[in-house]
Amino acid sequence: MIEIIPAIDIMGGRCIRLSQGDYSSQKVYDGYPEDWARAYADCGVTRLHLVDLEGAKEASPRNLKTLERIAALGLLKLEWGGGIKDDTALKDVFNAGADWGIIGSVAVKEPGLMKQWLKNYGTRIILGADARNGRVAVSGWQEDGGLGLKGLIRLFTPDGLEQTIVTDISRDGMLQGPSFPLYSDLKESFPKLGIIVSGGVSCLDDIRRADELGLHGIIIGKAIYENRITLKELATCLQNA
């Protein structure tokens, strides 16, 4: 069964969702991130996707206290993205309780550093490959990274990269379903790589289709907040896995 990974996007210690990476489109949801983390754990979720929206924009982590509070619950494995731009930031994220660090902008702008992190931390490093129209975007999706998606992934597969989160920015927060042709093509090109779907998940059928394609994981955000997928449905899906 595909790994189901709920997402919590954080700004100012609150749960926020954007549409297509547009910071002017933010919507605040009820409940604090640690409350949602408990609820997900109660459903049977084992892994949580955390994004520091302020960190992604400002180039250093800004919500580590929230990460610490969620990690202190001891309920879930945690992956963290946003603001990891140097060794200090990466160590801070791990020290705050993250099991994985998601690396996006650095992988594009400083591939040598990304390769060093893969050497030093191995499977704790996940490539965050965010793309718009096949082009990689960086710095909280505000800049074109100057690379194609496959070209970016190929830079790091020889260095032991095991997982990549691929976000189709055009689908993110739009509840229109993931770009399955994109993920199918990536699976064919990189059969040994753990490809995690991100962006556009709208219903349980999206999860089932991603599972049928043999993809490693799927990140669900707005669909849960907007009650397109209820926590009860999520629990039932996980119990039947």
Q: Quick check: helix, strand or coil at residue 100?
A: strand
The pairing of strands 3-11 and 14-19 is antiparallel
Are residues 37 and 8 in contact, defined by beta-carbon separation less than 8 angstroms?
yes
Q: Are 174 and 203 in contact (CB under 8 A)?
A: no
**Whether 9 is catalytic:** yes
Q: Are 17 and 225 within 8 A, CB to CB?
A: yes
Asked if 163 contacts 216 with a C-beta cutoff of 8 angstroms, the reply is: yes
**Neighbouring-strand partners of residue 16:** 28
Pick the catalytic residue from 130, 168, 172, 206: 130
DSSP for 29-88 reads: ESS-HHHHHHHHHHHT--EEEEEEHHHHHHTS---HHHHHHHHHH--SEEEEES---SHH
Q: How far apart, in whole angstroms, are the C-alpha atoms of residue 111 and residue 150? A: 14
Q: Is 22 annotated in the active site?
A: no
What is the number of alpha carbons within 13 Å of residue 85 lying toward its C-beta?
A: 16
Residue of 9, 52, 168, 206 marked active site:
9
Cβ neighbours of 87 (radius 10 Å): 12
* Residue positions annotated with a catalytic role: 9, 130
